[in-house]
A and B are shown apart, each in its own frame.
Chain A
Amino acid sequence: MWLQFIELNQFRNYKSLKLELGDARQIALVGFNAQGKSNFLESLYLLAFASSFRTASLTEIVQWGSTIATVEGNFGYKHNVPLSLKFGIYKNGKRQAIVNQEHQKRLSNYIGHIKLVCFTPKDLMMLTGQPSDRRQFIDLLLTQSYPRYYSLLQNYQRLIKQRNALLKNLKKRTGSQLAQELDELDSWDAQISQLGAQIIKRRQVVLTDLSRLLHGTHASVSLMAEKIELIYRSNLGEDISQMGLSDLEQSLAKQLKAKKTSDILHGHTSVGPHRDDLSFVLNGHELKFFGSQGQIRTVALALKIAEMKYLSDLFNEPPILLLDDVFSELDIKRQQALIEHIQQPGIQTFLTTTHLEGPVQRFFNQGSKILHVSGGSIFQ
């Protein structure tokens, strides 16, 4: 899919922007720092996922003195009817989500229409960062792949919050009230096992496919005979690779029960997919402990390319690609590898850079757009 037209209002340093892109597939946003290049990519990310890759507090996106920041886009599809989305953030934190002129009450009915892969310098850190960064990566991919995953995850997270609140009560209880609340705990655990098992299964299935793709993309980026594996690390304490949904549900129920006493003591839930992790294993060694800087960058790059391939295969159409200042982070060899992969027809790429130089220059040909960004305005 590709973006044909975008309009921003009161969005960070864009007071009002209307940009017609037509059928352009390669779009470079060139300009000095703090002129609005990343803001532009952020607006597209927000339109797709109703969240930002830069901040948790969305209200800071709203321009000072305005009540609402909006981003609106029209998208083209290879085999489908055109799609138009609009997303707004009010100063008071409320949100507005519109799909084809229809207001959506639930974000679960909004997120997932746009397939998008975003690559920022932060993604180079994801592999060695916190487990929550890696869970966020896989959850975002699943949200785009299966429309129901978002509400599944939301319900699961709410169950964990409810259970943790109850655990904190339980610590203070004795006698008949303790017995009553332990019964109550069972009714939360039953649901956590059911939804948790579905999340683990979904993640596992998508990681199996992604691991296979990563194997190929990694070979083409590293040009070396190295073996990369992407493995789901569950904290259920047994091998889950062959387990079906009902086995997973039982296993999770068993673990919740086994950890009950210590969970009550600590006031939080210690097992379940909210504590799981992904691990990248290069030539049999855990990358985050034994990988060199260069190896980690290569895997991070190969992973993003694999993510693109995964979405392309699943939907029979390439996703939109956002590259936020990543070329400066890659050496010439890796820059060339990335360009080779994104040069395939159909992929719409937005990239930001301070100077168009090196291998990336050759990427821009007839039909591509080089836009100059300065002080919240964009010039062709």
Chain B
Amino acid sequence: MSYLTPPLGRLVGAFQKLPGIGPKSAQRLAFHILKQPQSTVEELAQALLDAKAQIRFCSICSNLSAQDPCELCTHPQRSKATICIVADSRDVLALEKTHEYTGSYHVLQGLISPMDGIGPEQLKIRELVQRLREHLQADGQIDEIIFALSPSIEGEATTLYLSKLLRPMQIRMSRIAYGLPMGGDLEFADEVTLARAMEGRQEI
């Protein structure tokens, strides 16, 4: 590779460490940054630092948030009696976009995957059990726990593990129906997806 003056080399190197950014994209981003006015660059740098300094896991739902408890956990109209379990904060965003769900969330911050060194200990499972226990002890009601994890083998393992763990609490548990993606080819959908889509069929 051709020579880059040290600060530029460091910037390219930093971009390249980001997910999905190859050497070419890293260079493009770095040169783009250099062309921007001083104020834009300062804004970006400050945004990065602020986000890192201010955002924490919510002590109730483990979602990423600058305030604790988070905006969703403190929202007066959100039901505390329905908890939707998701893997990632991005899943909360996706579900919120639908405007269909009015309960609360619990974010596991990952899925069980022994290959990647992720077991129940590494996920926000202890926090979930604690949360449910405290809620029930305070005479609160839990109507339903909804599992909304990805239809992968890791998502399935996590759902199976959690449903077994929570079963003694005698709370109603359900999981979102997995369907076929729009525009998907029925012939090429895998067995598991197809079986689930069949289970979750609806009357028309």
Contacting pair B114 A147 (CB below 8 A): no
Interface of B is mostly: helix
**B43 part of interface (Cβ distance < 8 Å):** no
Question: How many Å from the CB of A264 to the closest CB on chain B?
Answer: 13
Per the 8 Å Cβ criterion, residues 221-263 of A in contact with B are none
Contacting pair A180 B120 (CB below 8 A): yes
Choose, from B53-61, B133-141, B188-196, the stretch at the interface. B188-196
Q: Per a CB cutoff under 8 Å, which of A108, A155, A177, A181 touches B153?
A: A155
**B100 part of interface (Cβ distance < 8 Å):** no
Question: How many Å from the CB of A87 to the closest CB on chain B?
Answer: 17
Contacting pair B157 A188 (CB below 8 A): yes
Q: Report the bound CA distance from A359 to B164 in whole Å.
A: 67
Q: How does the 8 Å CB contact mask read for B145-167 relative to A, with 1 for contact and 0 for none?
A: 00000000110111011001100
Per the 8 Å Cβ criterion, residues 161-183 of A in contact with B are 161-163, 165-166, 169, 177, 180-181, 183
Contacts of B113 in A (CB 8 A): 162
Contacts of B120 in A (CB 8 A): 180, 184
The contact size tier of chain B is 20 to 34
Contacts of B112 in A (CB 8 A): 184, 187
Q: A169-B119, A181-B119 are in contact. Are A162 and B153 (CB under 8 A)?
A: yes
Contacting pair B165 A183 (CB below 8 A): yes
Contacting pair A159 B164 (CB below 8 A): no
**B203 part of interface (Cβ distance < 8 Å):** no
Question: How many Å from the CB of A226 to the closest CB on chain B?
Answer: 38
Q: Report the bound CA distance from A343 to B163 in whole Å.
A: 59
Contacting pair A108 B157 (CB below 8 A): no
Contacts of A43 in B (CB 8 A): none
Contacting pair A191 B156 (CB below 8 A): yes
**A285 part of interface (Cβ distance < 8 Å):** no
Question: How many Å from the CB of B112 to the closest CB on chain A?
Answer: 6
**A132 part of interface (Cβ distance < 8 Å):** no
Q: Report the bound CA distance from A177 to B119 in whole Å.
A: 10
Question: How many Å from the CB of B80 to the closest CB on chain A?
Answer: 27
Contacts of A16 in B (CB 8 A): none
Per the 8 Å Cβ criterion, residues 63-78 of A in contact with B are none
Contacting pair A108 B188 (CB below 8 A): yes
Contacting pair B190 A155 (CB below 8 A): yes
Contacting pair B157 A184 (CB below 8 A): yes
The contact size tier of chain A is 20 to 34
**B42 part of interface (Cβ distance < 8 Å):** no
Contacting pair A148 B121 (CB below 8 A): no
Contacting pair A190 B160 (CB below 8 A): yes
Question: How many Å from the CB of A91 to the closest CB on chain B?
Answer: 13
Q: A184-B112, A187-B161 are in contact. Are A159 and B191 (CB under 8 A)?
A: no
Listed residue (B119, B154, B157) with the most chain A CB atoms within 10 angstroms of its CB:
B157
**A151 part of interface (Cβ distance < 8 Å):** yes
Q: Per a CB cutoff under 8 Å, which of A109, A158, A159, A187 touches B160?
A: A187
Contacts of A186 in B (CB 8 A): 160-161, 164
Contacts of A191 in B (CB 8 A): 153, 156-157, 160
Listed residue (B114, B160, B165, B185) with the most chain A CB atoms within 10 angstroms of its CB:
B114
Contacts of A169 in B (CB 8 A): 114, 119
Q: Report the bound CA distance from A155 to B185 in whole Å.
A: 19
**In the complex, what residue of chain A is closest to B190 when comparing beta carbons?**
A151
Per the 8 Å Cβ criterion, residues 165-187 of B in contact with A are 165, 185, 187
Contacting pair A165 B190 (CB below 8 A): no
Q: A177-B121, A184-B112, A186-B160 are in contact. Are A158 and B153 (CB under 8 A)?
A: yes
**B115 part of interface (Cβ distance < 8 Å):** yes
Q: A169-B119, A183-B164, A183-B165 are in contact. Are A162 and B189 (CB under 8 A)?
A: no
**A198 part of interface (Cβ distance < 8 Å):** yes
Q: Report the bound CA distance from A151 to B187 in whole Å.
A: 12
Contacts of B187 in A (CB 8 A): 147
Listed residue (B156, B164, B191, B192) with the most chain A CB atoms within 10 angstroms of its CB:
B191
**A29 part of interface (Cβ distance < 8 Å):** no
Contacts of A165 in B (CB 8 A): 114-115
Report the 4 A-B pairs with minimum CB-CB distance, sorted nearest first.
Answer: A187-B160, A165-B114, A151-B190, A166-B114
Q: Which residues of A contact B (CB under 8 A)?
A: 108-109, 147-148, 151-152, 155, 158-159, 161-163, 165-166, 169, 177, 180-181, 183-184, 186-188, 190-191, 195, 198
In the complex, 15 of the A-B residue pairs with CB atoms within 8 angstroms, ordered by the A residue number, are A108-B190, A147-B187, A155-B192, A162-B114, A165-B114, A169-B119, A183-B164, A184-B120, A184-B157, A184-B161, A187-B112, A187-B160, A187-B164, A195-B191, A195-B192
